[in-house]
Amino acid sequence: MIGFPHQSGPTHTERDARVALLRVFREMSKRGLNAGTAGNASLRCGEGFLITPSGIPAEELDESDLVWLDFKGGCRGERKPSSEWRLHHDILAARPEVGSVMHAHSSSATALACHGLTIPAFHYMVLRFGGPDVRCAAYATYGTQALSDAVLQALQGRTACLMANHGMLVLGEDAPKAIAAAVEFETLCEHYWRAKLLGEPHLLTPAQLAEVEAQFAGYGQQQQ
């Protein structure tokens, strides 16, 4: 289990948020989800959100390098925010239940994205991300409004998507849940890639998926 500080949405302090986001971003590199300056991450904080800066490797970052943005165009920080700030802004503005956004260029997800593939119900764990499949957003140049619009469309009813010829994006309630979901999503992408090496995998039926959804309701350690 990843040892991040406990968070509870907008009530945590900015200091705690900076610590959590920096740990998550470094963990993305340690887990092999990103390399060099690729990828970015954000965390809702107060009336805005913190985001990683542009063009600096995770291991070279300090908490003070993270940039705070609000939803009205305000910016606070000494660094230039990630070139994908618009994407994070639009998702967090449109999805109030989302506390953290992770974007990565992980190997398996990026391979599928470069083929523009939707991940179908080849395995019941696709349900982990909100529905019977995980969509691939249409290609658009990074950092543009067109890319943000395409990703928001692909994320309708979902908590993850592929980004054509680009990578992956995952949502979470907070930073620890987002990084855990990103690791899980990359694993699912690898499973699909490997399954397709043997041919087109068998897909689960809607009835079978509905049965799994019912099982999910009682999964894990339930409070008594």
Residues designated catalytic = 84
Read off the tokens for 127.
């349900």
Spatial distance between the Cα atoms of 126 and 189, rounded to a whole number of angstroms = 10
H helix intervals, the chain: 14-30, 85-94, 107-113, 145-154, 175-197, 206-216
State which amino acid sits at residue 62. Answer: D
Spatial distance between the Cα atoms of 192 and 203, rounded to a whole number of angstroms = 11
177: Cβ–Cβ under 8 A, 6 or more apart, which residues?
Answer: 99, 100
CA angle 185, 133, 149 (to 5 degrees): 85
Question: What is 56-80 written as a DSSP string?
Answer: --GGG--GGG-EEEETTS-EESSSP
- Cα 58 from chain centroid? 17
The per-residue b/e assignment along 137-148, b for 16 or more CB within 10 angstroms, e otherwise, is bbbbeeeeeebb
